[in-house]
Structure 1
Amino acid sequence: MSLSFGLSIEVSEQYDFNKNSLSKIRQNPWVKNQWPLVYFIQNETQRIAYVGESTNAYSRIKNHLSNPNKSSVLNKISVIGSDKFNKSATLDIESNLIQYITSEGTYQLQNGNYGLINHNYYQQDLYKDLFKEIWNKLIEKKIVSKSLTEIENSELFKYSPYKALNEDQYHSVLEILSGLCVKESNRIFIKGSAGTGKTILATYLIKLLHSDISESTLEEYNDDELREINYIRSFQSKYPDAKIGLVIAMTSLRESLKNVFRKIPGLKPSMIINPSETFNLKEKYDLLIIDEAHRLRQYKNIGWMGAFKKNNQKLGLDDTGNELDWILANSKNQIFFYDSAQSVKPSDIDGNHFDRLLNDSNTLNLQLTSQMRVKGGNNYISFVDELLHTKRKTTEFFKIENYELVNFDSLNDLYTELGKRDKIHGLSRLVAGYSWAWASKNDKKAIDIEIDGLQFQWNQTERDWVNSPNAFHEVGSIHTVQGYDLNYTGVIFGREIDYDKKTGEIVVNAKMYFDKYGKNGIKTPEDLRVYIINIYKTIMYRGIKGTFIYACNEGLRNYLKNNIETFKNEIPFRILPFAEVKPYVNSVPLVDITAAAGSFSDLQIHSDFKWVELPFHITTKEGYFVCKIEGESMNKIIPNGSYCLFKKDSGGSRNGKIVLVESMNIQDADFGAGYTIKEYHSTKNIENDQWDHQAIVLKPLSYNIEYNDIELVDDEFENLKVIGIFECVL
């Protein structure tokens, strides 16, 4: 039952799909009363199916039975009906069933993808709940097995050519088809910012132009859909057995799309090609569709210059030739999907090459404007652009319904919250600017990134990293996420990017930028700044449901805090009921420094403490304990009010480590008498293999220069006790 409507959804028994069963099918109440309904025809053994909708189902089913492609293959039919169905609702449900069943993988559909469009209609949101009920009933009847969430996180769903288009995209499709078939525009540019559905439109088009329209029942379609079918017929008449390729410059995205095309009837992975493969045919391609055209390369900062040079020579070009030249030379028609703001490396073709084509009178220029990926919509896209170009004209926090945009002072907090989202929604990933060398590329044990006591490696695979098994425990870069959708993105603004309060501008530090091919050959510091800002904009556009942000540099962190609400977490962990406590197995003690007075020596007296559960990514160990740290004396590492994890001191050198120290000789502005947390340094006197301390210096690590070193000498050592070694901020 649907709580929204108070009605039942009926998925009928499975009728035999043959002429002898027509009379029985006709007695179905929804069929008999010519009510709008949806139907599902299948062959369970061969795993082939067809989804349809109609207000005159009996007539439509008779037509299907007269079609040998269906009657000779499909053998069972189910009718889905409801007393609240209307024509708009059944079109929407049919469209959703096609999208989800195609991506679910149990059945291959005979459906084409023409006419798939999201229509707005009365109470559309309520019918979304209705669709969930329908899907659950299909699971109950074992027609499908995967949940909607599981399907939505699959790459097949994200890049499916069966995606229903929005009005903006669908009208672009009609314009593109008109350009190819009527206006004879052999070069079409579709511009659109991140998330406007360029890749979806590219896969939709290549499937559409390979559609079998011979059995289309024209009376079922509206005027726009009839135009679409007629354009397809015209194109297929003009280019029988058309040679069409989808050009993807980025390796990772190319491999993902090949995986998708393997599973779609009528498509082949060989249709997905890199720019060099445009030379493979003896004749020109009839049509090349180029996704992410802004990532096409020139002869600059690439690792395969020899092969690049040979391709240029095939066309009689010198080193100024580029992949755009190859595509134009090797195809009769081109469709480019382009966004200059997503050019992120100097190897990307200079924008002036595209400008010449865009300004050519023979080029058909189209624009996508509707935001399809990010639930924050175009307002969020505009906000990110204004934020990183420091053009915001308001001091209010940016907030938008149905989208989580949160700034974090602690990467530990961010990672913990991201982990919670990953458990619920999946596809939640950390992504950073290229501010750390990729040591683990050659040394698989090396740690690349260390922040707040957390240690990460860069992505350990360059292909389809977002879906790789260990992705949540690694950090991705622009090169592994561009073109991909995530549910939540944890964005780490690295050490190479900051905010200059005096100039009011975003600034970059080239010395802290480690992308060799992304930096060499850049002519001016401003060019590098533009690339790096483009990188972070593109990363911030990946998250469908939310974006979490952490900035390494204080200036940028404060700038972000003035524009984005900052995460507040009073207690970032669960305090266990004492009955659940298994000391140092599932929990560690929480110690109050302000009332500690010797309690550190009694950590085994379990009833004297609250015991807390550590975040999922930290292994509980004997000797661990947690304290809340107040004050600004260590704010470069430990934000004021943070809960920190320590381990009991077991001796050995402490030089350079952050320590929790007890001594009655210490007067600390933050902690008062008795305790402090500082970075430990000591000098020693060594004589005759014996040593003793000459001096111990406890250094603050603060952005506030008013904090001074605490220096202990002589008899001040006697009652000094190192209680714990700092592990991380929780």
Structure 2
Amino acid sequence: SLAEIENSELFKYSPYKSLNEDQYKSVLEILTNINNSQGNSIFVSGSAGTGKTILATYLMKLLVSDVDNIEDAEIQEDDIYEINLIKEFQRKYPKAKIGFVIAMTPLRETIKKVFSNVPGLKKQMVMSPSETFKLGIKYDLLIVDEAHRLRQYRNISWRGEFKKKNQLLGLGDDGTELNWIMANSRNQIFFYDAAQSVKPSDIDEFKFSELQNKPDTLKLSLKSQMRTKGGNDYITFIDNLLNCDVKKKPDFSTDFELKFFDSFNSLYNKLKIREKENGLCRMIAGYSWEWKSDPKRKDNLDLNAIDIRIDGMEFQWNKTYNDWITSENAFEQIGCIHTTQGYDLNYAAIIFGLEIDYDPIQNELVIDKTKYFDRYGKNGVTDYELKSYIVNIYKTVLYRGIKGVYIYACNYNLKQYLKKYLNLNLDINVTTEIKGNNPRIIPFESVKPFVNAVPIYDIKVAASNFTDPQFYEEFSWAELPMQVSPKKGYFIAQVMGESMNKKIANGSYCLFEEYTAGSRNGEIVLAECSNIQDGDYGLGYTIKEYSSIKSFTEDSFRHESIVLKPISYDYSFKDIVLSEDEIIRFRVRGIFKKVLNWI
């Protein structure tokens, strides 16, 4: 199908793709510069999604093309200048030795597969920085994609091999993979974005700046957004959002879906629908959970160990490092920065983990180092450096989505901050649609009240805070599951949200018994709270565990406060505490009996 073709790696990284004006001008400038110099460095800068990898693969294919055998009739007038530049390059470097360098293993393996399917290109042309030593002589040209991920001698696991490569060049521990590229080639093209540096092993920005600031370095920039349908406005917005400097809520085109989810269950189910429609929809999280199922761990006793628990749902980290995005069962796993950087997704679901929160007093993001589990990402770095890397990680993964980005945050303050600027998902029926666990509504003429049916109220009860005002009076009659007998006072309502997910899954239909009298302490209750000013507009509802603090006199008592407690795997949910005037407007409508299941 067309969708399958568009989702394929060969299509996404194809060197045959048409270039935009930005990219085409860069090609001409790059070729002119290389042809006119005896050895030069070229930097092509651009934020995520500006087509750096596409331009890099296009150049690779272009420079090895046999342009001498192109028939004149096939040449368009606009192509003549480009073809002449290619011929000049091939005369200058006959049988040119060209390499395509990628430091990141997953992306490198993907590009190797692409090159093996393109005439004129070979997977052997794609290499790691250390493989640039293999030739024994200098390459005529090295094209370096994702150059911001080139490494230095810091927080790496292969220190011995790194040291040997530095020694080959007479360098000490301050030698970097950038030095290797420079030493092993006459010309270099670096595709670079400092904002996508995500680990302390990545070369410091100032070392790239030193090279960029040399008078003979050609500096080019790509501006046009080619990935996300949110365009450059989305890229700018995400940058401002994570810098806590948003001036106004954005308004993106209807072609791009940016939503915040209070419920992770709802996010998962909505993403599952998008996966069925489009493919290439994946969940990505910050490194806030230990990788217990890592097959490379020497102490790993359980490859099926659960790594991540969110809102009562359980997941493992990506089961494979290379080509995870297209691997089997990838949708049911959660990826990280290292398996997704450089890739496109139709929809990306981004999970802000427990390591990152928001400080409303200082108006800034804050990091909890104890809840960040990438040891090579945090050892020996300052708090400022760690925050910079983690924020860059979230920016980078937020840029993966072409058609949409879904966002969830584990920590309460960050949830509240993000909800100020992001549209809240309101598609509350998504969970029950997927479960298929819907009640059977009985036609009115067939109803025998509390004999074959009980009322089902057309309200959505919030398992979070009180819902927006709704009318309790509107209802139909529904049949109960076979194992439940109708009883006067029973009624059904749907519970939305995650604050009760230890007891009630998001989207569940629940059976309640109308409250009449008696102690409610310790009961799970359906509560309503009316606002006097909004009395004409209905009531707000929530479901929580009830407790109260009372003060007694000789002949009566009064509630000093009422506490409604969440029962959730997500500890960011807080108690709802009612006092004074709020208690007057508070009422228990029903006592929770059970979750209903018609399947």
CA distance in 1, matches of 2:176, 2:121: 28
Spell out the pairing of 1:489-638 with structure 2 (5 A cutoff).
Answer: 489-522=348-381, 524-572=382-430, 573-574=432-433, 603-604=481-482, 628-629=494-495, 635=499
Q: 1:302 aligns with which of 150, 153, 156?
A: 156
Moved more, 421-430 or 180-189: 180-189
> Is the CA contact 1:466–1:481 (under 8 Å) kept in the aligned structure 2?
yes
Give the counterpart letter for 2:329 in structure 1: N
* Deviation of the 1:440 alpha carbon: 1.2
Spell out the pairing of 1:186-335 with structure 2 (5 A cutoff).
Answer: 186-218=40-72, 220-222=74-76, 224-335=78-189
User: Aligned to 2:520, what secondary structure does the other structure show?
Assistant: strand
Whether 1:473 aligns to 2:321 is no
> Is the CA contact 1:662–1:676 (under 8 Å) kept in the aligned structure 2?
no
Whether 1:360 aligns to 2:214 is yes
User: Aligned to 1:556, what secondary structure does the other structure show?
Assistant: helix
Distance 1:255 1:627, change over 3 A: farther
CA distance in 1, matches of 2:319, 2:139: 36
Whether 1:643 aligns to 2:521 is no
> Is the CA contact 2:440–2:478 (under 8 Å) kept in the aligned structure 1?
no
Distance 1:363 1:429, change over 3 A: same
* Structure 1 equivalent of residue 553 of structure 2: none
User: Aligned to 1:430, what secondary structure does the other structure show?
Assistant: strand
* Structure 1 equivalent of residue 574 of structure 2: 703
* Deviation of the 1:670 alpha carbon: 5.6
CA distance in 2, matches of 1:471, 1:423: 13
CA distance in 1, matches of 2:330, 2:564: 39
Distance 1:250 1:627, change over 3 A: farther
CA distance in 2, matches of 1:410, 1:193: 31
CA distance in 2, matches of 1:662, 1:241: 90
Distance 1:402 1:295, change over 3 A: same
Distance 1:226 1:265, change over 3 A: same
> Is the CA contact 1:636–1:703 (under 8 Å) kept in the aligned structure 2?
no
CA distance in 2, matches of 1:277, 1:305: 16
Q: What are the superposed Cα offsets for residues 13-49 of structure 1, whole Å, 9 maximum, x if unpaired? A: xxxxxxxxxxxxxxxxxxxxxxxxxxxxxxxxxxxxx
User: Aligned to 1:332, what secondary structure does the other structure show?
Assistant: strand
* Deviation of the 1:698 alpha carbon: 9.7
Q: What are the superposed Cα offsets for residues 587-607 of structure 1, whole Å, 9 maximum, x if unpaired? A: xx9976999xxx999631689
> Is the CA contact 1:666–1:676 (under 8 Å) kept in the aligned structure 2?
no
Q: What are the superposed Cα offsets for residues 596-635 of structure 1, whole Å, 9 maximum, x if unpaired? A: xxx99963168979xxxxxxxxxxxxxxx9953489xx84
Give the counterpart letter for 1:512 in structure 2: K
Whether 1:416 aligns to 2:269 is yes
Q: 1:485 aligns with which of 344, 359, 362?
A: 344
User: Aligned to 1:392, what secondary structure does the other structure show?
Assistant: coil
Distance 1:724 1:199, change over 3 A: same
> Is the CA contact 1:429–1:472 (under 8 Å) kept in the aligned structure 2?
yes
CA distance in 2, matches of 1:247, 1:679: 61
Give the counterpart letter for 2:312 in structure 1: G
Higher relative contact order (CA 8 A, sep 6+): 2
CA distance in 1, matches of 2:90, 2:9: 29
* Structure 2 equivalent of residue 131 of structure 1: none
* Structure 2 equivalent of residue 671 of structure 1: 526
User: Aligned to 1:365, what secondary structure does the other structure show?
Assistant: strand
Distance 1:182 1:218, change over 3 A: farther
Measured on the aligned residues, the alpha-carbon RMSD in Å equals 3.7
> Is the CA contact 1:410–1:639 (under 8 Å) kept in the aligned structure 2?
no
* Deviation of the 1:571 alpha carbon: 2.7
> Is the CA contact 2:142–2:187 (under 8 Å) kept in the aligned structure 1?
yes
User: Aligned to 2:424, what secondary structure does the other structure show?
Assistant: coil
User: Aligned to 1:214, what secondary structure does the other structure show?
Assistant: helix
CA distance in 2, matches of 1:561, 1:640: 24
Distance 1:299 1:231, change over 3 A: same
Distance 1:472 1:645, change over 3 A: farther
- Structure 1: gaps of 5 or more residues: 1-146, 581-588, 610-624, 649-660, 681-696, 709-720
CA distance in 1, matches of 2:307, 2:76: 57
Q: What are the superposed Cα offsets for residues 140-195 of structure 1, whole Å, 9 maximum, x if unpaired? A: xxxxxxx2211000001011111111111011001110111125552100001000
* Deviation of the 1:547 alpha carbon: 0.3
Spell out the pairing of 1:377-456 with structure 2 (5 A cutoff).
Answer: 377-394=231-248, 396-441=249-294, 442=300, 443-456=302-315
Give the counterpart letter for 2:304 in structure 1: K
Give the counterpart letter for 1:162 in structure 2: Y
CA distance in 2, matches of 1:502, 1:254: 43
CA distance in 1, matches of 2:79, 2:357: 51
> Is the CA contact 1:626–1:643 (under 8 Å) kept in the aligned structure 2?
no
Give the counterpart letter for 1:537 in structure 2: K
Q: What are the superposed Cα offsets for residues 57-79 of structure 1, whole Å, 9 maximum, x if unpaired? A: xxxxxxxxxxxxxxxxxxxxxxx
- Bigger CA radius of gyration: 1
Distance 1:296 1:579, change over 3 A: same
* Deviation of the 1:286 alpha carbon: 0.9
User: Aligned to 1:333, what secondary structure does the other structure show?
Assistant: strand
CA distance in 2, matches of 1:492, 1:402: 22
Q: What are the superposed Cα offsets for residues 356-395 of structure 1, whole Å, 9 maximum, x if unpaired? A: 000000100000011111111111111111111111112x
> Is the CA contact 2:266–2:506 (under 8 Å) kept in the aligned structure 1?
no
User: Aligned to 2:82, what secondary structure does the other structure show?
Assistant: helix
TM-score scaled by length of structure 2? 0.78
User: Aligned to 2:206, what secondary structure does the other structure show?
Assistant: helix
CA distance in 2, matches of 1:168, 1:642: 47
CA distance in 1, matches of 2:206, 2:14: 33
Q: What are the superposed Cα offsets for residues 323-354 of structure 1, whole Å, 9 maximum, x if unpaired? A: 11111111111000000000000000011110
Distance 1:638 1:369, change over 3 A: farther
Give the counterpart letter for 2:274 in structure 1: R
CA distance in 2, matches of 1:481, 1:237: 39
* Deviation of the 1:703 alpha carbon: 1.8
User: Aligned to 1:334, what secondary structure does the other structure show?
Assistant: strand
CA distance in 2, matches of 1:205, 1:679: 66
> Is the CA contact 2:508–2:595 (under 8 Å) kept in the aligned structure 1?
no
> Is the CA contact 1:275–1:327 (under 8 Å) kept in the aligned structure 2?
yes
> Is the CA contact 1:627–1:643 (under 8 Å) kept in the aligned structure 2?
no
* Structure 2 equivalent of residue 464 of structure 1: 323
Tell me the number of residue pairs that the alignment of Structure 1 and Structure 2 aligns. Answer: 512
Give the counterpart letter for 1:457 in structure 2: Q
Give the counterpart letter for 2:386 in structure 1: L
Q: Percent identity?
A: 52
* Deviation of the 1:525 alpha carbon: 1.2
CA distance in 2, matches of 1:167, 1:316: 43
* Structure 1 equivalent of residue 584 of structure 2: none
* Structure 2 equivalent of residue 158 of structure 1: 12
CA distance in 1, matches of 2:151, 2:89: 30
CA distance in 1, matches of 2:492, 2:31: 64
User: Aligned to 1:671, what secondary structure does the other structure show?
Assistant: strand
Q: What are the superposed Cα offsets for residues 252-295 of structure 1, whole Å, 9 maximum, x if unpaired? A: 00110111111111111000000110000121111100000000
Distance 1:416 1:216, change over 3 A: same
Q: What are the superposed Cα offsets for residues 453-486 of structure 1, whole Å, 9 maximum, x if unpaired? A: 1111000000010000110000000000000000
Distance 1:401 1:646, change over 3 A: closer
TM-score scaled by length of structure 1? 0.65
Give the counterpart letter for 1:324 in structure 2: L
Give the counterpart letter for 2:330 in structure 1: A
Give the counterpart letter for 1:434 in structure 2: Y
CA distance in 2, matches of 1:630, 1:239: 66
Q: What are the superposed Cα offsets for residues 103-129 of structure 1, whole Å, 9 maximum, x if unpaired? A: xxxxxxxxxxxxxxxxxxxxxxxxxxx
